[in-house]
Chain A
Amino acid sequence: MADPMRISAQASGDKATVRVLMSHEMESGQRKDASGKTVPAWYIQEVTANLNGKQVLAAEWGPAVSKNPFLQFAVKGAKAGDKIAVTWKDNKGESRTDEATVS
C-alpha cells in the first residue's frame, strides 16, 4: 500500500480550496537504468475527488506529472465540516483513498 496522501481543505466564502500531495514514484517510462534497460512507466492515471460522497472532480494524468504529485482545486459550495475524499489509481491497478475535513 502506498503512503497516505496529505490533504488540506480550507473553506473561504462559498468555496473550499483543496490541496493534495500524493506519494507516488511517477516513473515516466523514458528513463533507462544502469544496464541500459528502459524503466517501465508507473504513474497515476486517474484522480477523483468526492465531496460528502458525491463525485465533484475526475482527472486523467499522464506520466509527465511530477513525482509525488501536487494538485490544487476549488470545490464550490463546500463549507467547514464537509468531507473531501481523494482517490488515485495508477497504471498497475493500485489505488488509494484518503479523506480530509474542510476547515
Chain B
Amino acid sequence: MQNRRETLKQTAVVAGLLASAGFPQFAHAAFNKAAFEAKSVQDAAKAAGAASMAESKDVTITGPDIAENGAVVPLGASTALPGVKHMLILVEKNPAALVAMFHVSDAVETNFTTRAKMGQSSDVYAVAIMNDGKALWAKKEVKVTLGGCGG
C-alpha cells in the first residue's frame, strides 16, 4: 500500500512531467504505467493503444541470434510504412514485456535502436501501432547465453 507521502511525491512527479510536455502533439507523453507493467506482449500493446494485432513483413526487428550477455542486447525496430504512431520494443519473457515505446513524429524516421536487458532466451517483438489503432508486429528469437559457459 502507498502512504500519503509517496502518493504526494508521485503526484508531483506526474504534474512535472505534464507541465514539461510542452508541445501539443506530445501532450500524451505522461508515463504510460499500465503498458510498462503489463506482463504479456499483447497486454502491453493494448495498453499502448493497439486495437487489433497482425503479423507484418513491413515491420523489422533486428537483434543478435545469440546474445552472450543478457544485460546488453542490442535491439532495433523499424518500418518504412507511413502513419505510424508508436513503435514498441518488447521482450516476451521479461518480468514486464515492454522495453521501450517511441512516439513517432514526421520529423524522425521510424527506425530506433537501443539496448535491452533480457533475463533469459526469448522472442523479441517490434510492434508498430498505426494511427488507426492497428498494430503490426514482427518477432525474432534471441538466445541468451548465461554465465558465459557457452551453455
Contact = CB atoms under 8 A, between A and B. Distances in A.
Size category, A interface:
35 or more
Contacts of A30: 95
Contacts of A10: none
Interface in B75-132: 76, 91, 94-96, 98-103, 105-109, 111-118
Given A45-B31, A93-B13, A71 B98 contact: no
B72 interface: yes
Interface residues of B, number: 41
20 contacts: A28-B117, A30-B95, A54-B107, A55-B26, A57-B105, A62-B36, A62-B99, A64-B91, A64-B98, A64-B99, A64-B116, A65-B115, A66-B114, A70-B113, A70-B114, A71-B114, A72-B112, A74-B111, A76-B108, A89-B20
A58 interface: yes
Given A65-B114, A65-B116, A71-B114, A57 B96 contact: no
Interface string A64-94: 1111011111111100000000000101010
Contacts of B32: 60
B-side binding surface: helix, strand, loop or mixed? Answer: mixed
A34 to B, nearest CB: 19
B111 A62 contact: no
Interface of A: 15, 26, 28, 30, 45-46, 48-49, 51, 54-67, 69-77, 89, 91, 93
